Amino acid sequence: MKTEFNYSLLKHNTFGIDAKCQRFVEYNSVEEAQEVVRSLKDEDYPLLILGGGSNLLLTGDYKGTVLHSGISFVEQLDDERVRCGSGYVWDDFVDYCVSHNLYGAENLSIIPGECGASAVQNIGAYGVEAKDLIEEVEAVEISTGKVHHFKNAECAYSYRQSKFKHEWRDKFLITSVTYRLSKTYQPKLDYGNIRAALAEQGIEHPTAAELRQTITNIRNAKLPDPKVTGNAGSFFMNPIVPKAKYDELAARYERMPHYTIDAEHEKIPAGWMIEQCGWKGKTLGRAGVYDKQALVLVNLGGATGADIVRLYKTIQHDVKEKFGIEIHPEVNTSPN
């Protein structure tokens, strides 16, 4: 277990915001997590549970304790189940699955962050979500130090949501996640431009490794490297709107992209609406909108959390004015 005071969080957030916390604690086992929560005092609060920092916007110094999981392992439990420590890098998990002929995670390649966060955020891409794979989440209750095991259904997963983001927020330290994969390969190719990218390579029936590499290439082409340009990937969630609202907009915008959710709802890409508002490639101070993907906000160097907040709120306002739709951040902000 590692504890440091007045600790810089610059290397713990992919936005590259230079903020500090009062105290930083990293635990490397379930027992250490229990020891940490049982030793917490009033002066240690508030708490910020931090993963890889790839879905976080720090709006200032954190006057409390940051808790980070250093539990990093991967183990195959049986033919289809894999258990990972909460601090294990997500893309390393996907790589492990593909290389061990375990299928279902390949569309989630190269999403930044750690496995613990997958159970909180219900990460997703190209027609697959973490909830499709998660079987069980192990977590230590902060108030008691007790270890809990939550089945998938208990976590109330939906689009980028879970109980860990709402009623269970700041109540548990996730220590490991168990995923159920499949030994049968059934590639999902119909989301986004996967088929077009495969066709460019002359691939009609991709192996899992070929699909993983293709998705990696697609994401690398449209998302900036956070080591070069600070960002948190897709900043906004794609809004899901009633069919009547979609019909109204479709009548005005003939080529508006959309994805059918069910008979009553459609998903409209937030990035498309942001681009229609003229924000793609534009800046506001040291914060900007990435010129290759309007869904991504970037730190152009030296931006503060407040600069990013000013930009995203301005974009929210413009989208609401033009389309009558509220878009909400997928990225968490702290301190709130």
Averaged pLDDT, 114-131: 96
Beta bridge partners of 27: 69
Q: What percent of the chain has pLDDT over 70?
A: 99
Stretch 36-62: mean pLDDT? 94
| Active-site pick, 54, 160, 176, 212 | 160
* Spatial separation of the C-alpha atoms in residues 48 and 287, rounded to whole Å: 24
Cβ distance 30 to 175 under 8 Å? yes
**Residue 184: predicted pLDDT:** 97
Please indicate whether residue 180 is annotated as part of the active site.
no
pLDDT band at residue 56 under the 50/70/90 scheme: very high
* β-sheet bridge partners, residue 271: none
Question: What CA–CA distance (Å, rounded) separates 84 from 219?
Answer: 24
pLDDT digits (tens, 9 = 90+) for 180-236: 999 999 999 998 899 999 999 999 999 999 999 999 999 998 889 998 999 999 999
Give mean pLDDT, residues 102-112: 96
Average pLDDT of span 282-300: 96
**Average predicted confidence (pLDDT) for the chain:** 95
Q: Tokens 């956070």 correspond to what residue?
A: 226
> Catalytic annotation on 330?
yes
Give the residue-averaged pLDDT of 32-58.
95
Looking at residue 336, its pLDDT comes to 64
Alpha carbon distance 229, 113 (integer Å)? 16
- Confidence band, pLDDT 50/70/90 cuts, at residue 334: confident
Identified catalytic residue from 114, 234, 266, 334: 234
Residue 334 annotated in active site: no
Q: Which of 32, 212, 330, 334 is catalytic?
A: 330
Task: Note the pLDDT of residue 3.
Answer: 75
Minimal CA–CA distance to 162: which of 141, 128, 125, 137? Answer: 137
318 phi and psi angles, rounded to 5 deg: -65, -40
Question: What is the Cα–Cα distance from 72 to 86, expressed in whole angstroms?
Answer: 7
Contacts 24+ apart (CB under 8 A), 280-284: 284/310, 284/311, 284/314
- pLDDT for 2 equals 80
Q: How much is the average pLDDT of 290-306? A: 95
Does the predicted TM-score (pTM) go above 0.75?
A: yes
The two beta strands, 265-267 and 259-262, are: antiparallel
